[in-house]
A and B are shown apart, each in its own frame.
Chain A
Amino acid sequence: EVQLAESGGGLVQPGRSLRLSCAASGFTFSDYAMHWVRQAPGKGLEWVSGISWNSGGIEYGDSVKGRFTLFRDNAKKSLYLQMNSLRPDDTALYYCVKDRGAALGRHKGLDVWGQGTTVTVS
Chain B
Amino acid sequence: AQKVTQAQTEISVVEKEDVTLDCVYETRDTTYYLFWYKQPPSGELVFLIRRNSFDEQNEISGRYSWNFQKSTSSFNFTITASQVVDSAVYFCALSEWDDYKLSFGAGTTVTVRA
A and B associate:
no
